[in-house]
Chains A and B, each alone.
Chain A
Amino acid sequence: MTERPRRISGMGGDRPRREVVTSPRTRAARRPRYPVTREIDEQTRLGEVYIRSLVRTQFRLALFICTVLGCVVCGLPVLFMLVPDLGEVRLLGVPLPWAVLAGLIYPAFVAGAWLYVRHAERNERHFTELVERR
């Protein structure tokens, strides 16, 4: 963005006809450019687009985690129902349903939560960079 106008104005002396092309640029330059935070504060269409995109990004992330969680949690009873032999399988001497429900699922929750926090904070960092850039 910053390079192209310079190149055009540098070549402007050779070819006066270029003025037609530059006229939108001068009109654009006359309008002051707001930081996006001001668009958000004044509730312009542009500001709303930014906010909606942030909400949508975060919601998609939340929905992803919830879907994975839902599949695991709602899948387990079905799995135990359809494959009753799983109760016979032993993990370190403990029946598999117990090993999963009374042990393994907790570290899995923490891992999912950690993943979510990392991504949510990254989304917010990106949004902040986007909005504060002028």
Chain B
Amino acid sequence: MNPAYGVTAVVVVVVAAVLIGGFGLRLSRTTSDFYVASRTVSPLWNASAIGGEYLSAASFLGIAGLILAYGADMLWLPVGWTGGYLVLLVLVSAPLRRSGAYTLPDFAEARLSSVAVRRTASVLVVLIGWLYLMPQFQSAGVVLHSITGAPDWAGGVLVAVVVAVNVLSGGMRSITFVQAFQYWLKLTALALPLVFLLMAWRARGAPGLPAGDSASWALPLASGRDYPVYSTYSLILATFLGTMGLPHVLVRFYTNPDGRAARRTTLVVLSLLGAFYLLPAIYGALGRIYARDLLATGQTDQVVLTLPARLLGGTPGDLLAALVTAGAFAAFLSTSSGLTVSVAGVIAQDILGGGGVRSFRVATVLAVIVPLALASTTRSLPVADVVGLAFAVAASSFCPLLVLGIWWWRLTPPGAMAGLLAGGGLACTAVLTTIVGGPHHGMAGALLAQPAAWTVPIAFVVMVVVSLATQHRVPGDVARVMVRLHTPEMLNVDRGDWRPRRS
């Protein structure tokens, strides 16, 4: 690929992100603006923004890469990442918005009136955020390296700096507009080249898969990974239940005006994601025909970037490759921005111990630097695998907290605390063992690489059992909180006087 096109694409996306973010600068003045855009974001913007924020490097590059490598089983990744919103919609969206909390720790405090649970939730939010940010920076490095030959750390630093500047200057309102723009950019950047790729594929006589593949690679549970049945179910559990526990996704729900709008926004999000996730599978299949050599080098995450040049060649190929590169950078920027805002919000409030714009700025720097350091020191795994681990931690900690907190009257602070520590702790341990010490083999390796199937049930059971054993600790205002979570806004009832902590 001609590096000039790729560099131009990266520069255009970066400048556009900064400029669009700049529009928010004049508008955001108060602390509340920084956190949730004063809840004045319209539903369509909001849904596009959620889509833009959610579709990370893992969705844009990683899924196609894993499908190229492992075939039909990996189709469950995009299915779970979309279906997670259905679970989120039915179990969480409206009550969470009605709780009036800005962040997951806010929700924990509002529901359980416990500072200790709040602190634990804060630590978990930061851990999940860092775990999610790290592969974004790593992939940015890989992509920049492949188009310019720059060292691996350069791409990560570039993304980190742009995100930090953007968040620091505009706060979340600007991020909302950046994110909405990014969704449509990413959809175009993946869909338009695909049209040309498919045309080129047909022009070449529409070749099918190599003979060996249709008997193994194309079939479910025949991918060659160990323990395919366990891994598939664990993946399904992590993705379907983990979505609701992602800090950067939940913060978006607070920008809806009411619970009803939160539901409708989720419905739009599902449609937007469904449209997007039709594409990566086709890239993966085309890659299996035309880019098998990536398997040997292990750089399967590159398949989306290399296909245009391989199938089309010449200037059209270069231009489309530049468009895909732009989309990939949009993915790094949007997901990292969203994560940075939520992680920084939690660090500012619960770890630096105060709201205010100044501590939010310090927190932003912290939120970015740690994963950047991690990205350059840990071993490089396929991006979608690491993001999958972040989902597993979220599913084993925040999913039980949210589901039981919203629907079960008898949840107690000690129960929630024990569940968070057991589920989140076990999942984090498994993840660290996999990232730092791996790869492990055999059954233990499968259990560690896909921990959700055992950590999620453990988290739920611990939370329920400890709650039942400590029924004298049920918060006194649980009835009022339930009124708050579940009654429609149009009813004039007393919803209690809890407010999220802000200076």
Contact = CB atoms under 8 A, between A and B. Distances in A.
Contact of A128 (B79, B94, B491): B491
A43 B86 contact: no
B120 interface: no
B83 A121 contact: no
A110 B267 contact: yes
On chain B, which size bracket covers the interface?
35 or more
A120 to B, nearest CB: 6
B491 A62 contact: no
A55 B274 contact: no
Given A54-B486, A62-B91, A120-B94, A113 B479 contact: no
A124 B260 CA distance: 10
A51 B78 CA distance: 37
Contact of A101 (B76, B229, B240, B267): B76
Q: Chain B binding site: helix, strand, loop or mixed by DSSP?
A: helix
A116 to B, nearest CB: 5
Interface stretch (A7-15, A17-25, A66-74): A66-74
A77 B220 contact: yes
B281 A112 contact: no
A3 interface: no
Contacts of A132: 491
A109 B236 contact: no
A58 B266 CA distance: 17
Contacts of B75: 97-98, 101-102
Contacts of B492: 37
B90 A61 contact: yes
A57 B413 CA distance: 26
Interface in B470-498: 479-480, 482-483, 486-488, 490-494
A110 B233 contact: no
Contacts of A48: 479
Interface string B25-61: 0000000000000000000000000000000000000
A59 B92 CA distance: 11
Contacts of B490: 128
Contacts of A102: 75, 78, 278, 281-282
Nearest to B477: A43
A84 to B, nearest CB: 7
Nearest to A72: B83
A109 B483 contact: no
A101 B218 CA distance: 12
B115 interface: no
B219 A110 contact: no
Contacts of B264: 117
Contacts of B483: 40, 51
B420 interface: no
Contacts of B277: 106
Given A98-B281, A105-B79, A41 B494 contact: yes
Interface in A13-60: 37, 40-41, 43, 48, 51, 54-55, 58-59
- Residue among B85, B86, B263, B271 with the highest chain A CB neighbour number at 10 A: B86
Nearest to B239: A73
Nearest to A105: B79
A1 interface: no
Nearest to A37: B493
Given A77-B236, A98-B72, A113-B267, 4 more contacts: A40-B493, A69-B83, A74-B233, A103-B278
22 contacts: A51-B479, A51-B483, A51-B486, A54-B487, A55-B482, A62-B407, A69-B83, A69-B240, A73-B79, A77-B221, A77-B229, A77-B232, A87-B220, A97-B75, A98-B218, A103-B278, A106-B82, A110-B274, A112-B86, A113-B270, A114-B267, A120-B263
